[in-house]
Chain A
């Protein structure tokens, strides 16, 4: 496993240098004026960033309010009985909910789980798998659709949430197979 990780670490390290070098060298061969072209393309970057702000503010504020209100703790309270019956520690629930909403919050919840449970416990490993296999769905929605001014998301939210649920259920099943 360590060797697989070592190989992937090297690939991760070289991926960006390789892409950027290839693009510039290829352009030089094709006699593209690289500097002028770079500046021409780059100036759109600020515009795009500004376009994202309203969408980001909308979702980040709503999520921050929701967490501050204590609603999350109440939800955890309601569901813990049911979760224990299917052999899922109740500590996991806040993580399962928060991971779709806020990346930094999910990291915080995970650190808490890792510190409050024995590091090699089933709970910590399940949490690790759940967090490692997730992406902050609502952040991705806000940034990607916000950048082009899409306001009607159609089925994108539903698709993202279904994939999140699949990830949660998958994490529980796999963690049971590997670590229970």
Chain B
């Protein structure tokens, strides 16, 4: 990440200067910084609401029930995190919300799951295998119906925008499986530097 980030910034200045777009680059810093706060504030409301609802789910024991149902799948994907009910139930809901295209609802669930995984993580600055797996599941962007894309196609006058649903589903499944398998393989290639992931959550 250090490399990618500095690469983007240095290259932007160099190429911007070459193209005579240096002032655009500088403006982009200001507008980008503003956007990032807007995005975070936009998240704040749903985040607050969801964490409240999840606290209720936690106390009533329903989170635990969902997690128990999903234990076999969770064990394969998340190994030792599988017995953390709050993590598993939030991961399950995060995945379902993403699949249904409810991105705004999915994010707080994913973050809540991350917090639970962080509790079990020994090295608090370094991502655990389970965290990387959760992230892989999210970056692959599994979605049943690409609603936004269909809407744009329809707006542009496409006769049959829904015909992209099946091909998109095939691609998204392929990317999703690739992400999970890659994360699984990477766990072996890059084991945690310190003894990571505690036994008990």
Contacts and interface: CB of A to CB of B under 8 A. Distances in A.
Q: Do A and B bind each other?
A: yes
Interface of A: 1-2, 4-5, 8-9, 11-12, 15-16, 19-20, 22-24, 26-27, 29-30, 32, 34, 37-46, 48-50, 52-53, 56-71, 74, 107, 110-111, 114-115, 119-120, 124-125, 128-135, 137, 140-141, 143-145, 147-160, 162-164, 166-167, 170-171, 174-175, 177-179
Main secondary structure of the interface of B (DSSP, over half): helix
Given A148-B115, A167-B174, A124 B153 contact: yes
Contact of A133 (B11, B54, B171): B171
Interface size range of chain B in the complex: 35 or more
Interface of B: 1, 4-5, 8-9, 11-13, 15-16, 19, 21, 24-25, 27-29, 31-33, 35-37, 39-41, 43-44, 47-62, 93, 96-97, 100-102, 105, 107-108, 110-111, 114-115, 117-118, 123-127, 131-132, 134-136, 138-141, 143-146, 148-150, 152-153, 156-159, 161-168, 170-172, 174-176, 178-179, 182-183, 186-187, 189-190, 192
B135 A144 contact: yes
B170 to A, nearest CB: 5
A133 B127 contact: no
Contact of B97 (A15, A62, A128, A147): A15
A79 to B, nearest CB: 16
A45 B47 contact: yes
A154 B132 contact: yes
B48 A42 contact: yes
A73 to B, nearest CB: 8
A148 B160 CA distance: 43
Nearest to A130: B171
A130 B149 CA distance: 10
Contacts of B167: 125, 129, 174-175, 177-179
Q: Which of A68, A131, A166, A171 has the most CB of B within 10 A?
A: A68
